[in-house]
């Protein structure tokens, strides 16, 4: 990463000419995204570190995709992020988000029983435990196995996608790109009050794996993972001082190695977020 001191010096000069917009951290649970007038992400440094991690694992750089949104400045970063992947259990998050939104808007009775359990219990098992039986039970009972309907809802969450950008077969299966899935994470973060308990259950999921693999308990983390065969993915929120919304996808790797890669990439990005926070603090009026 470019030296933070260089950034601060340049920003100090800029402040004498163009005072920056006021910056404050979003309140916990507000879902507010505050955009500063400054850019803090060094995309070349991020590219280099991701490629270093992938190379150290003896794999091709095309085997990984990364997409992030830094809430402190409203900046995006993408690495190979338009590649479409089979993503296993990642579909469970937007499906549960849709069910929760239906409850909030009165389209679905919150007291409805699914497989002799409450709807809330079913959602908890799907997000916290990534339970397949409960996930497919919800898909059948709530959506009548209408994958096209569920996928149309996925599309409503993602920003800036047009029909011609979608992968062939989009409406037939659960394919996502990192860029597309980031839109789902951003919808959840920005409108958290519309999805009660969803982030809570994600914070309880896989406390030793994926984004937690290297970071451990250093930050609060809300994550949803997908792992099957030789694909391992994770998407969610890392609650650095200004949270990072992050998606990391990779293939041609077993779960253990995939976890290691996701852990290394997310830990580096969390370290970057601490530096980005310092830069913002030093440029605040």
Please give the Cα distance from 283 to 276 (Å, whole number).
Answer: 11
* Residue 278 included in any domain: yes
Residue of 94, 105, 108, 91 lying closest to 194 (CA atoms): 105
CATH code, domain carrying 250: 3.40.710.10
Please give the Cα distance from 150 to 164 (Å, whole number).
Answer: 19
Angle, helices 255-283/4-17, rounded to nearest 10 degrees: 40
* Residue 155 included in any domain: no
* Residue 243 included in any domain: yes
Which whole-number Å values give the CA distances from 191 to 33, 104, 180, 187, 236, in the listed order? 10, 12, 17, 6, 14
* Residue 179 included in any domain: yes
* Residue 124 included in any domain: no
CA dihedral 256, 262, 263, 267 (to 10 degrees): 170
* Residue 149 included in any domain: no
The whole-number pLDDT of residue 113 equals 87
> The tokens of 147 are what?
């994958």
* Residue 60 included in any domain: yes
**Domain count for the chain:** 1
Residue with structure tokens 């091709």? 60
* Residue 136 included in any domain: no
10-residue mean pLDDT series, the chain (285 residues): 38 33 35 66 95 89 95 96 93 96 92 88 96 94 93 85 83 92 96 96 96 97 93 96 97 86 96 96 80
Domain, as residue range, for 220: 4-90+172-283
């Amino acid at each position: 990463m470019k030296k933070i001191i260089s950034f601060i010096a340049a920003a100090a000069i800029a402040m004498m000419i163009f005072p920056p917009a006021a910056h404050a951290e979003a309140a916990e649970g507000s879902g507010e995204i505050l955009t500063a007038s400054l850019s803090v992400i060094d995309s070349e440094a991020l590219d280099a570190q991701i490629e270093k991690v992938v190379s150290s694992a003896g794999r091709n750089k095309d085997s990984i995709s990364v997409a992030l949104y830094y809430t402190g400045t409203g900046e995006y970063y993408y690495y190979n992020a338009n590649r479409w992947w089979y993503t296993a259990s990642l579909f469970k998050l937007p499906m549960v988000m849709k069910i929760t939104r239906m409850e909030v808007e009165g389209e679905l009775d919150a007291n409805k029983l699914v497989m002799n359990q409450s709807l809330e219990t079913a959602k908890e098992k799907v997000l916290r435990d990534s339970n397949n039986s409960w996930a497919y039970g919800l898909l059948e009972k709530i959506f009548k196995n209408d994958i096209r309907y569920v996928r149309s809802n996925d599309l409503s969450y993602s920003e800036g996608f047009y029909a011609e950008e979608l992968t062939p077969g989009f409406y037939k299966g659960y394919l996502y790109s990192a860029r597309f899935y980031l839109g789902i994470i951003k919808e959840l973060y920005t409108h958290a009050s519309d999805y009660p308990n969803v982030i809570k259950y994600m914070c309880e999921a896989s406390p030793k794996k994926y984004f937690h693999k290297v970071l451990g308990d250093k930050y609060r983390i809300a994550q949803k993972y997908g792992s099957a065969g030789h694909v391992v993915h994770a998407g969610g929120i890392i609650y650095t001082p200004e949270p990072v919304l992050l998606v990391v996808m990779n293939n041609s790797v077993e779960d253990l190695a995939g976890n290691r890669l996701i852990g290394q990439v997310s830990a580096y990005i969390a370290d970057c977020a601490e530096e980005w926070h310092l830069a913002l603090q030093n440029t605040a009026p």
